[in-house]
Amino acid sequence: METQIQLTCEEISGKSDARIVRFVGDLDATNVDLITEQIFNYFSDGLVKIVADFKQLRYVNSTGLGVLLHFNKTAREKGGCFKIVNLNEDVYEIIEIIGAASLLDIYDEMEDAVAALS
Amino acid sequence: MVMDKKSSLTMEISSDEGYAEVAVLRVCGALDFSGITMLSNVFEKLFGEARPYVIVDMAGIESICSAALGEFMGYRKRFVEQGGNLVFAGLAGNVRSKLTLLGANKIFSFYQDVRGAVNAYRWDYKKHSKSVSIAFPSFLQFVPPVRQFASRLAKQNGYSAKDAFRIETIVDEVCNNAVEHGEAGKGSEVEIKVSINKEKIALSVSNKSDPDKVAVLKELVKPAMPVSHVGDDDKRGRGLALIKMLSNELDVEITERGTSVHVTKLREE
């Protein structure tokens, strides 16, 4: 049984290769495989520019952080990007402590992240 | 026991077993203006006996006047100055409502009963620790409820949401490592003991070692790479780095038989 997490996907006007993906729940070792499969399905469908909305992502651990770095790297290799927006303070602290803040593409505001897709 | 014959107000002092400095004052009857002198005499006696932590058992109080409350406030201040306190226990609904209306709940601590007040004394003054032990099957899906339990335990004991989140993360990482690097399969368990007091939380996580993974595990716990150098290709060591950064003490013992991880996290906020 995995920890509860849900992804919902939303189109971005005028950007056919991009999606806003909203994460809701906890990202941890019990559900990284599920999330990896879903994100890689987007990549396979040509949706290589992802804006990950973490407004309702309560928790992430080191395993979850590992897959975020993996998404970031894979998206770039495919000519896209994996941008993160609306991080809560606790999750940001974990990312910062591990030294990954400079490796990930993090934005405070959704509109800035979407604008940066161009 | 002292008694006011006109009002049939009684006051009786008893002790809590094991704590000579704690006095339990049981008050019964209507505490009105005429009882203030009796109250004052009792408190002066406690000062003389160097018993600065006073639990007033109010279960038998029928009513209380504002002047008596003022007397309690004055003595509370003096007890606090002596390193103690004056708290209320066992308040009946009507008395509790009146004291709350008068704003006493902002000054005094209210407890359900004397036992609750003594436990608070042990927690606040004796740095008493509460301990919980859990054993769970060595599978990843059992880790989230354990980490969430540790977080709730911290919050219930007055730790901030931020501290609770950090504790949740530490428990998660230590338990995940135990499952990942320990003996797997039917019957294998991870044991976690959580001890919490007012100042810190201590975790001990132990499990049986998998002989094939001991060497890898020993390599992992060598002085870790600087966390700032963690790259996006590094698959290992992030969890341990996180634990080190979030905790105040970390000790890992690895033998062929078992692995034990001891972590201490001080309360920060």
pLDDT at residue B228 in the model: 45
For the segment B155-173, what is each residue's pLDDT rounded down to a tens digit? Answer: 999 999 999 999 999 999 9
Q: Say if A4 is an interface residue toward chain B (CB within 8 Å).
A: no
Give how far A10 is from chain B: nearest CA, Å. 27
* Residues B81 and B150 both lie in one domain: no
Round to whole Å and give the CA distance between B57 and B24: 7
Which chain A residue shows the shortest CA-CA distance from B246? Answer: A97
Q: Which of residues 59-118 of A touch B (CB under 8 A)?
A: 59, 61-63, 65-66, 69-70, 72-73, 89-90, 94, 97-100, 103
* Residues B29 and B50 both lie in one domain: yes
SS3 B81: helix
As for how many domains chain B has, the answer is 2
Structure tokens at A2: 């995995």
* Residues B134 and B254 both lie in one domain: yes
As for how many domains chain A has, the answer is 1
* Closest partner CB to A61 (pick from B173, B227, B245): B173
Round to whole Å and give the CA distance between A27 and A62: 9
Round to whole Å and give the CA distance between A36 and A41: 8
- Strand A81-85 to A49-60 pairing: parallel
Among B106, B125, B144, residue at a domain's last position: B125
CB-CB under 8 Å, A1 with B232: no
CB-CB under 8 Å, B232 with A72: yes
Among B125, B157, B183, residue at a domain's last position: B125
What is the strand order of the sheet A105-107 is part of?
A: A5-12, A15-27, A49-60, A81-85, A105-107
pTM as predicted: 0.77
- CATH number of the domain at B208, please: 3.30.565.10
Which helix (H) or strand (E) segment is B166 a member of?
helix B161-181
This complex has an ipTM of: 0.94
Q: B207 or B212, which is more confident?
A: B207
Using alpha carbons, select from B207, B220, B199 the residue that is nearest to residue B264: B199
* Residues B166 and B101 both lie in one domain: no
* Residues B139 and B101 both lie in one domain: no
Give how far A112 is from chain B: nearest CA, Å. 24
Q: Which domain holds residue B170?
A: 130-266
* Residues B69 and B110 both lie in one domain: yes
For the segment A44-99, what is each residue's pLDDT rounded down to a tens digit? Answer: 999 999 999 999 999 999 999 999 999 999 999 999 999 999 999 999 999 999 88
- CATH number of the domain at B15, please: 3.30.750.24
Q: Which domain holds residue A62?
A: 5-115
* Residues B89 and B160 both lie in one domain: no
Residue B29: half-sphere exposure toward Cβ, Cα within 13 Å = 21
3-state helix, strand, coil in chain A (%, to 5): 35, 35, 30
* Residues B51 and B113 both lie in one domain: yes
* Residues B137 and B26 both lie in one domain: no
* Closest partner CB to B238 (pick from A2, A28, A65): A65
- CATH number of the domain at A87, please: 3.30.750.24
Cα–Cα distances (Å) from B204 to A114, B138, B221, in that order, read: 45, 16, 16
* Residues B102 and B140 both lie in one domain: no
Q: Which amino acid is at A40?
A: F
* Residues B141 and B118 both lie in one domain: no
3-state helix, strand, coil in chain B (%, to 5): 40, 30, 25
Which chain B residue shows the shortest CA-CA distance from A72? Answer: B232
* Residues B86 and B71 both lie in one domain: yes
Contact residues on chain A for B168, CB-CB shorter than 8 A: 59
Among B75, B90, B125, residue at a domain's last position: B125
**What letter does residue A3 receive in the DSSP assignment?**
P
Give how far A26 is from chain B: nearest CA, Å. 9
